[in-house]
Amino acid sequence: MKIKYFFILILFSLICYGNSLKGEFVWDDFFLIVNNPLIKDFKNLAKIFSTEILPSTGYYRPLQITSYFLDYHFYHLNPAGYHLTNILLHIFNSVLVLFILYHCSKNIFISFSTSLFFLTAPFHTEAVTFISARADLLFAFFLLFSFYFYIKEKYFFSFLFFSGALFSKEVALIFPFLLIFYDLCFQKELVKKKRIYLFFLLGAVYYSFSCRPSYGKKAYI
């Protein structure tokens, strides 16, 4: 695959979202980043995996907070750095869409045009430009990687990235059903059925953990 396709995706991402680098922290950014002690000290890193993303929200997304933790230690409270991370994640996701479609279709025109549409489609605007919406980008990043490794029959890595998707956003629980759909449509049968059970098992473990009562507060989801 020619490298020019990647440069075009990067160029269009900067055209569409480059102005977001001038954005400030808004709304939930102050709770999740500016006034969040968990991201400011390494001794709090373990606590990220034992608390809700915000008190009583019902959402358990430790990798989202971990990404802010990393951003803080690179950029401190410079919002441009956090916006840059969002843009980079969106670029990576678009490249993954390109790889997945090309692997399935072997048609570079269809694959590239679809990935370019994915990159520039306005329904991604909030996820890319709103720092606190990063869960959508992280969830997509890990899930696309998981699916890519699945279709490449590298199941250990697929399973690993599915775990990352679950810890980014709970909607990743639908992924095993998407794998069934893929196998039925492209393999014509559930040839990987036994492996799919492992994804359901991991989803069930995650669900049972994230729904447990949290220190007297609401359950996670």
Whether the CB-CB separation of 178 and 139 falls below 8 Å is answered with no
Q: Give the per-residue pLDDT at 54.
A: 65
Burial classification of residue 11, based on how many CB atoms lie within 10 Å of its CB (0-12 exposed, 13-18 middle, 19 or more buried): exposed
SS3 169: coil
What would the pLDDT profile of 115-167 be if each residue is shown by its tens digit? 999 999 998 999 999 999 999 999 999 999 999 999 998 989 999 999 999 99
Whether the CB-CB separation of 134 and 89 falls below 8 Å is answered with yes
Q: Cα separation of 151 and 209, whole Å?
A: 28
Ranges of the chain with pLDDT below 50: 213-221
